[in-house]
Amino acid sequence: MAVNGMFDLSGRVACVTGGNGGIGLGIAKAYVSQGAGVAIVGRNQGKLDSALNELKSLNGPVGVMAIQCDVTDRGQVEAMVNSIAAELGGLDILVNNAGVNRRADEPHLLSEEDWQYVIDANLTSIHTATSLAFPLMKKRGRGKIINIGSMMSIFGTAYAPAYAASKGGVVQYTKSCAVAWAKDNVQVNAILPGWIVTEMTNQFKEAFPDRYEMIVGRTPAGRWGDPVDLGGTAVFLASAASDFVSGTAIPVDGGYSVW
């Protein structure tokens, strides 16, 4: 384990929603590597069990746990937060990563049911988890909340209007919380992943191969990202290194958003 100075997370407890795969699991691994205790949260128990085994193999000093939870259900989220506090001793870092998407060829073709499903999962759930986690952080006198946005926080898209709206909202919600809780020593920031290879984007590659290759061509780094590419930024925003950083939205996209 390579714990490194001001990026040391020893003794801190982190919760990563959607932590049983993709970006969330990549962030959870980075936190364990820096000494944090980590709770991963997801709906799929099989994926949770597999991810938990991966985290346990890293031999973190504090402990890891997995919690099955639907983040759109406030009762389940409240139970999740209480369970983390009881088992790992508190909560210092919350990563709101869980998210979904529903597509339509054009915005007016997206059903209201699909619209609400995406907004509830991607935006309302962040408010729920954050509202329940914040009192624990305030009590400890410190906290880090990291909301996972998207390139769609910056750009619109004809085929995923609810996703784009929800991810744009993530950035504004991040700024609102950052202003409110500076007095409580709780920093709130967002990460905007670029095109990252995950289960969700693998479906995109299969459905839109030409678009997939166009993204590679536009990305200065010349490739799609990997979940591990998010780890460094997530550790920075969770550590003492970012104690004077709040209300920001940091693209991690290989330069895609520069063009």
Query: Closest Cα to residue 248, out of 160, 200, 201, 187?
Result: 187
Cα–Cα distance for residue pair 194/229, rounded to 1 Å: 10
Tokens linked to 200: 């969700």
Q: Report whether 129 contacts 94 (CB < 8 A).
A: yes
Cα–Cα distance for residue pair 168/151, rounded to 1 Å: 9
For 146-181, b/e burial (b = at least 16 CB within 10 A) is bbbbbbbbbeeeebbbbbbbbbbbbbebbbebbeeb
Residues involved in catalysis: 163
